[in-house]
Chain A
Amino acid sequence: MSHLAHTVAVRATGVDMFFGTPDNQVVALKQADFEARRGELIMLVGPSGCGKTTLLSVIAGTLTPQAGTVEVFGQRLDGLGQEALTTFRRKNLGFVFQSFNLIPTLTVVENVMVPLLIQGRPYDEARERSLALIEKVGLKGREEGRPNALSGGQQQRVAIARALVHEPPLLICDEPTSALDKDTGAHIMQLVRDLSRSPERCVVVVTHDHRIFRFADRIAEMEDGRISRVVDDPKLLDTSHL
């Protein structure tokens, strides 16, 4: 048991999350249990509306569930105040949002720098690290452009660079390859997967994209607000909804 505890990166137990008023309630998560291990890239799949994004938000500490416990790298999130949750996110999390949320008035490199600057890193250092990563995601030459001048796939790569730049222990990606072609998607997933290969790290990826399943160590299937099954091999998945 103690050995097991040591290998757990994220553990959510008995999580309930509903939205709306009591008489008009939407149940997003119902007694959901989820576990991700250190050094692992785990994918979350399931039909639209089954609660994937909601589960990510709960793990990220941006949504507080009505019931259940969440633990990330040994830290319990339930009971933490807003400021403590903010500090937790700043130190531990990288995000790739479903709708990239790039800031249109900033340049590409400035967008990537944001997490480093939030951490209080010096501007020049932040810029240097961001430029290096932009090159890695294949956007060299676009650093000083505006996100809106990029294609959807390029914007997504900027979002991924922004999520990776501060090397967060927990990387959370909501549909990171939805706008990428097969080769670029594979290239990006390789980057993400390399990042996960360390006991201090963990990557959770929500996706519909079966082409990238091969990068997953494990795949958790979601259905009606809970994890229904966890498999090691993509071939075992029920892919009827994809």
Chain B
Amino acid sequence: MYRLALNMLFGDRAKLAMLLCGLAFSALLMAQQSSVFFGIMSWTYTPMVNIRAQVWVSDPMVEQVNDAKPLRDTDLGRVRSVDGVAWAAPLHTSFVQARMQDGNFKLITLVGIDADTFAGAPAVLTQGRIEDLRLPDTVIVDEWGASLMGRMGVGPDGKPRSTPLKVGDTFEINDIQARIVGICKVRRAFTGGPFVYTTYDRAKGYTLGARRTLSFMLVEPQKGVAPAELCGRIERDTGLKAWTSDTVIWNWGERSLARNTFWWFWTNTGIPFSFGTAVLLGLFVGIAISGQTFYSFVLENLKYFAAIKAMGAGMGVIARMLFVQAFTAGLIGFGLGAGMAQAIGRVMIEKGMPPFVMFPQILWATFALVLGISFVSAVIGIIKVSRVDAASVFRG
């Protein structure tokens, strides 16, 4: 009978296509909306991704990575003397205005990294070499920032240029020249602004006014020392706050700075609410569409199920037939929808806009939802068939 149930489902290609479109569309909507949501939320802790270090140390009052409270330079020594620390490097991050060639200002995220260890340097350089940062007045700019700032540049003919900044181009930060020696690939941040990397000491120069410039310390544990354990020791010995750098959203530890940043934005801003409503809307529309398509499928087949019932099929058999149909359609619909979401996601990730983070968990949740919808629709169908009067099949 189950084979017949499937044949019934696949028998009408046009209706099947409708059904699958509805399911695929809602799966797509759900997966895509939540991926964009988590994409935006993951932008909040972008520095954790772009600046790579095992342990971050901050002022005890710091709650999230975008809001650094400066440390004393002497804190570096105290951290270095903690048992289990291999090395500790200073990190500066701040938002400063940079003056472009056309005279306009652009807010940038200035990142000053230790010139000896290059701890926290970008992972991928598409142009130039990290070592060139040791030359005077040099910076490395991220790709997307380079194209943004390029539009504010002036070409050799004096007209506005349309090409991205490249190695050799210059701009100014607080009247001090910044010469580009490299272009890097980093992830976009929620706070916007291009990422401009320079050395820690030069960052002090670029931010002349600032009394203290040590935003974070990047720490490497000695071999065999777990980051989380080292965090505990640093906090005990120095009274500072230490964080792990794991950014895997479904698996981050208690001490993850990314996690804290995520939840800080979650509780202190309207972002989850405004984007969350879009996700919920997507969910509702998805549920409504797939529920509706299933329901009409069941209604159309109601009189045939009634005939099967009259011919002596028990409700148990009919229930299983409906489940087979619902879950098969659900499975295929989910597959198509998830596939489309992946494809669209790939394009989005490529463009970086809008942000897109599709965790396996999102797919699982979508899968569960689609199957849930299938289940409910099948149950509704079963109730309908159980209520249908078997004698009705005798009438014309």
State the Cβ distance, A149 to closest chain B Cβ, in Å: 13
Binds A, one of B6-14, B113-121, B203-211, B241-249: B6-14
- A99, A107, A118: the one contacting B308 at CB < 8 Å is A118
Smallest beta-carbon distance B186→chain A, Å: 54
Residues of A with C-beta under 8 A to B11: 103-107, 146
Is B4 a contact partner of A106 (Cβ separation < 8 A)?
yes
Q: Are B396 and A118 in contact (CB under 8 A)?
A: no
Within 8 A of A (CB), among B304-324: 304, 307-315, 317
Which of B4, B7, B11, B301 has the most C-beta atoms of chain A within 10 angstroms of its own C-beta? B4
Residue of A nearest to B11 (CB): A105
B393 cross-chain contacts in A, Cβ below 8 A: 62, 95, 97, 101
- A83 CB → nearest B CB, Å: 6
| Known contacts A57-B391, A62-B390; A97 and B312 CB within 8 A of each other | no
Number of A-B contacts (CB under 8 A): 90
Given contacts A97-B394, A117-B4, contact A89 B12 (CB under 8 A): no
The smallest beta-carbon distance between A114 and chain B, in angstroms, is 6
Contacts of B301 in A (CB 8 A): 105
Q: A97-B393, A118-B308, A174-B394 are in contact. Are A123 and B314 (CB under 8 A)?
A: no
For the complex, what is the distance from the CA of A4 to the CA of B369, rounded to whole Å? 62
A98 within 8 A of B: yes
User: Which one of A88, A90, A105, A115 has the highest number of Cβ atoms from chain B below 10 Å of its Cβ?
Assistant: A105
State in angstroms the CA–CA spacing of A114 and B312 once bound together. Answer: 10
Interchain CB contact under 8 A, A114 and B12: no
Nearest residue (CB) in A for B309 is: A86
A78 to B72, CA, bound (A): 93
Q: Are A90 and B311 in contact (CB under 8 A)?
A: yes
State whether A93 touches B312 (Cβ < 8 A).
Answer: yes
Provided the pairs A90-B313, A118-B312 are in contact, do residues A123 and B3 lie with their beta carbons within 8 angstroms?
yes
A90, B4: Cα distance in complex, Å:
17
Interchain CB contact (< 8 A) of A90 among B3, B10, B303, B312: B312
- Compute how far the CA of A118 lies from the CA of B317 in the bound complex, rounded to whole angstroms: 8
CB of B46, distance to nearest CB on chain A (Å): 52
Docked Cα-Cα span, A94 to B396, in Å, equals 18
For the complex, is A113 an interface residue (Cβ under 8 Å from B)? yes
| Residue in B7, B10, B391 whose beta carbon sits within 8 Å of that of A63 in the complex | B391
The verdict on B135 contacting chain A, using a C-beta distance below 8 Å, is no
Judge if A192 is at the interface, Cβ distance under 8 Å: no
Are A118 and B311 CB-contacts (below 8 A) given A62-B391, A63-B391, A98-B395?
yes
Residues of B within 8 A of A91 (CB): 312
Instruction: Tell me if B1 counts as interface (CB < 8 A to partner A).
Output: yes
User: Cβ of B312 and Cβ of A106 under 8 Å apart?
Assistant: no
> Closest B-chain residue to A64, C-beta based?
B391
Chain A 42-84, CB-CB to B under 8 Å as 1, else 0, gives 0000000000010011001011000000000000000000010
Q: Which residue of B lies closest to A86 (CB)?
A: B314
* Least Cβ–Cβ distance between B11 and chain A, in angstroms: 3
Q: With the chains together, A146 CA to B301 CA distance in Å?
A: 16
CA distance A60 to B310 in the complex (A): 9
CB pair B7–A106 under 8 Å, yes or no, is yes
B-chain residues with CB within 8 Å of residue A174 when the two chains form the complex: 394
* A87 close to B (CB within 8 Å): yes
Q: How far is the CB of A76 from chain B (nearest CB, A)?
A: 18
| Distance (whole angstroms) from the CB of A55 to the closest CB of chain B | 10
Q: Please tell me which one of the listed residues B10, B314, B390 contacts residue A83 in the complex, with CB atoms under 8 A apart.
A: B314
Give B4 Cβ to nearest chain A Cβ, in Å.
Answer: 6
A101 to chain B: closest residue by CB: B307
Cβ–Cβ < 8 Å partners of B391 in chain A: 57, 62-63
| 6 tightest A-B CB contacts, nearest first | A105-B11, A90-B312, A89-B312, A62-B390, A62-B391, A101-B307
Residues on A facing B (Cβ under 8 Å): 53, 56-57, 60, 62-63, 83, 86-91, 93, 95, 97-99, 101, 103-107, 110, 113-115, 117-119, 123, 146, 174
20 other contacts beyond A103-B308, A146-B11, with CB at 8 A cut-off? Answer: A57-B394, A62-B393, A86-B312, A86-B314, A98-B394, A98-B396, A101-B303, A101-B304, A103-B8, A103-B304, A103-B307, A105-B8, A105-B10, A105-B12, A106-B11, A107-B11, A114-B4, A115-B311, A118-B1, A118-B308
Residues of chain B touching chain A, judged by Cβ–Cβ distance below 8 Å, are 1, 3-4, 7-12, 301, 303-304, 307-315, 317, 389-391, 393-396
Can you give 11 A-B contacts (C-beta < 8 A)? A53-B395, A60-B394, A90-B311, A97-B307, A105-B7, A105-B10, A105-B11, A106-B4, A110-B7, A118-B311, A118-B312
